[in-house]
Copies of this chain bind each other. A is one copy, B any other.
Amino acid sequence: MGRRPSGRVTVRQVAAASGYSVGTVSRALSGHPAVAPATRDEVLALAARLGAPVPARASAASGRDPGAPVLVRCPYVLDDYFGRVVTAAVESLAVHGRRAVLDTGEAARERPVVAGLAGDRGLAGAVLVLPPEPVRQLEALRAGGFPFVVVDPMAALPADVPSVSSAHLTSARALTAHLLELGHRRIGVVGGPTEWLASRSRLAGHASALADAGLLPDPSLRRSVRPTADDGYAAACDLLDAPGPGGPPTAIVAFNDKVASGVLRAAAERGLAVPGDLAVTGFDDLDLARSTVPALTTARQPLEEMGRMAVSLLLRLVARQAVDALHVSLATELVVRGSTAPPPSSPK
């Protein structure tokens, strides 16, 4: 963060805003050991928020042990998806001789630990998987000098908050393009929660592929669900039983493999052959995608790579080494299997 065109924020301004004396703010910014850690973190966070440059020395003096354990926070049940990200992160930490402190489970979402991390001297840093915390809380943590990396952000993050994600938009675009190439024109979407960045990015990718074919998304073909097989099943029943004016979809793009497995169940119940009567795509490429009948065409998310990349980025931040980029997006791969084929009577 450099000087603003409007002039540098002064120590006096930070002092006025913080309620601390100019001397305290000055000592906090210079990393003076006489300043209590909590006070220093508060001043640094405020200074950063006001746009003042925070000297590296100040956070270096935070008293945090750089060899301490790293927090891995994943406030969801560790399943085939989250479990793989966390496993890879913990394995990678072990390779670097680091212990991982794990915070996980649905109940973890209720515990506001993230806000308290800046003052936690027992942790070297944190990997935050799909953090449900508001962006401003992550910004404050960053401003406070606590090293952390976000994996798969739930909302768009400012440029200085480090993150690793996968290329949602590009992948979703590739899946829809694949269906368009096969001749599909009425493509249903069973998307994820609209407040998730991943859901919105994938919808944007879908629209982008449609646009190339001269089509606009048809809102009557779209549903948003929680990412479970049961929710996918219910949404697919709805799309197939109550089609819009243009008729039922000949293909359904599901938010992920679990949702797609629910779509397959809805199709089977209705006597629809997949892919003959209905093409279906997933996302993630979990083991599940290979064991459904038929196996799923999907986009392989680099889950292990995301976990490893987050640790690698974090340990550079902890060691105050230069990082190549703070926002890293990893490529996915289109995996074509048996669940996609041309529509019954292709308009092509």
Measured CB to CB, the residues of A under 8 A from B are 69, 72, 77-80, 82-84, 86-88, 90-91, 94-95, 99-108, 111, 228-230, 233, 258, 261-262, 264-265, 268, 287-288, 290-293, 295
Residue ID in chain B nearest A74 by CB atoms: B87
Does the CB pair B83–A78 fall under 8 Å? yes
Does the CB pair A94–B103 fall under 8 Å? yes
A316 to chain B, nearest CB (A): 21
Does the CB pair B293–A265 fall under 8 Å? yes
Instruction: Decide: A101 near B102, CB < 8 A? Known: A78-B84, A79-B84, A265-B291.
Output: yes
A126 to chain B, nearest CB (A): 13
Residue ID in chain B nearest A228 by CB atoms: B287
Does the CB pair A94–B79 fall under 8 Å? no
Query: In the complex, which residues of chain B have a beta carbon less than 8 angstroms from the beta carbon of A100?
Result: 101-103
Does the CB pair B72–A77 fall under 8 Å? no
Does the CB pair B90–A102 fall under 8 Å? yes
A111 to chain B, nearest CB (A): 7
Question: Besides the contacts A94-B103, A233-B291, what 7 more A-B pairs have beta carbons closer than 8 Å?
Answer: A77-B83, A78-B82, A78-B83, A90-B104, A94-B105, A262-B291, A268-B293
Query: In the complex, which residues of chain B have a beta carbon less than 8 angstroms from the beta carbon of A229?
Result: 287, 290-291
Q: How far is the CA of A233 from the CA of B287 in the complex (A)?
A: 13
Residue ID in chain B nearest A295 by CB atoms: B265
Query: In the complex, which residues of chain B have a beta carbon less than 8 angstroms from the beta carbon of A293?
Result: 264-265, 268, 293
Q: Which of B101, B258, B264, B291 contacts A101 (CB 8 A)?
A: B101
The 4 closest A-B pairs by CB, nearest first: A78-B83, A83-B83, A91-B105, A229-B291
Q: What are 30 residue pairs bridging A and B, where the CB atoms are less than 8 Å apart in the complex? A: A77-B83, A77-B84, A77-B87, A78-B84, A79-B79, A79-B83, A79-B287, A86-B102, A87-B105, A90-B103, A90-B104, A91-B104, A94-B103, A95-B107, A100-B102, A102-B102, A229-B287, A229-B290, A229-B291, A258-B287, A258-B291, A261-B288, A261-B291, A262-B291, A264-B291, A265-B291, A265-B293, A288-B291, A291-B292, A292-B292
Query: In the complex, which residues of chain B have a beta carbon less than 8 angstroms from the beta carbon of A88?
Result: 105
Query: In the complex, which residues of chain B have a beta carbon less than 8 angstroms from the beta carbon of A80?
Result: 79-80, 83
Query: In the complex, which residues of chain B have a beta carbon less than 8 angstroms from the beta carbon of A107?
Result: 91, 94-95
Does the CB pair B78–A94 fall under 8 Å? no
Instruction: Decide: A87 near B94, CB < 8 A? Known: A102-B101, A287-B258.
Output: no
Residue ID in chain B nearest A260 by CB atoms: B291
Q: Which of B78, B91, B288 contacts A108 (CB 8 A)?
A: B91
Residue ID in chain B nearest A261 by CB atoms: B291
Instruction: Decide: A86 near B104, CB < 8 A? Known: A80-B79, A293-B268.
Output: yes
Does the CB pair B94–A108 fall under 8 Å? yes
Residue ID in chain B nearest A72 by CB atoms: B102
Q: How far is the CA of A103 from the CA of B287 in the complex (A)?
A: 23
A153 to chain B, nearest CB (A): 21
Best-surrounded residue of A90, A111, A262 (most CB of chain B within 10 A): A90
